[in-house]
Amino acid sequence: MNLPARAPMSLTEARAVPAEQWLRTLRETYAGDEPGEVLAQATTADSLIPLGAIHIMPPVPHWYRGRMVLVGDAVHAPSNSTGQGASLAVESALELARCLRDLPDPESAFAAYEGLRRERVETITRRGARLNHRKTPGPLLRRVMRTVMPLMFRRMDLEKQLGSELRYRIDWDAPVRVSTAARE
């Protein structure tokens, strides 16, 4: 569960707070909220794992240097709220393999790989950051959301909003060319 915005805590600071205190805070925060109150009441102090503030990894300026390249969370760790971390890592590994297969040397393969992946992963990472920011509303906004969210879900068109992101495919058989890598 996320707590409404407050001063960020490091992992060390969050774990220094006794679990019983975190549980009291969760129960007070989510009292009267549905389903938050039910979840908080069903939680036990020994099941809590305080993590501190969620930090979104900023874009990495260079994904490779020489014969070294970064893949997956090492270079693009989206928030877990996107549900895309493992998928992006697998996609990146596939694209890197295609580039290494089709291009003459590691440096051109790494540059093509970065060109193929950067826009997609940064778009998803930005979406995750927006989701995280909206996931911790204060008490007034939580009350408004209880009324508005059911209406929004009925009107939402998930295919229109996320369809292209979820249908993304990599054509393994398509050769990678340096001139087309930035456009693929």
Q: Tens place of pLDDT for every residue, the chain, 184 residues?
A: 566 656 667 777 878 888 888 889 888 888 887 777 888 888 888 887 766 655 667 788 999 999 999 998 888 877 766 778 888 999 999 999 999 999 999 999 999 999 999 999 988 888 887 776 665 556 676 677 777 777 777 777 777 777 787 788 899 999 998 765 554 5
pLDDT at 55: 60
Secondary structure letter of residue 2 according to DSSP: P
CA distance 35 to 52: 22
Give, in order, the Cα–Cα distances in Å from 137 to each of 5, 29, 38, 140, 152: 7, 11, 18, 8, 17
Between strands 64-65 and 68-69, the pairing is antiparallel
Omega of the bond leading into 35 within 30 degrees of 0 (cis): yes
pLDDT at 80: 66
- β-bridge partners, 65: 68
Side chain identity, residue 72: G
Contact in structure between 103 and 152 (CB atoms under 8 Å): no
Would you state the torsion angle of the CA atoms of residues 82, 96, 113, 99, taken in this order, to the nearest 10 degrees? -150
- 33 contact partners, CB below 8 Å, separation of at least 6: 142, 146
Short-list 164, 163, 145, 177, CA closest to 33:
145
Contact in structure between 53 and 99 (CB atoms under 8 Å): no
- Chain centroid to Cα 127, Å, comes to 8
Residue 176 CB coordination number (10 Å): 21
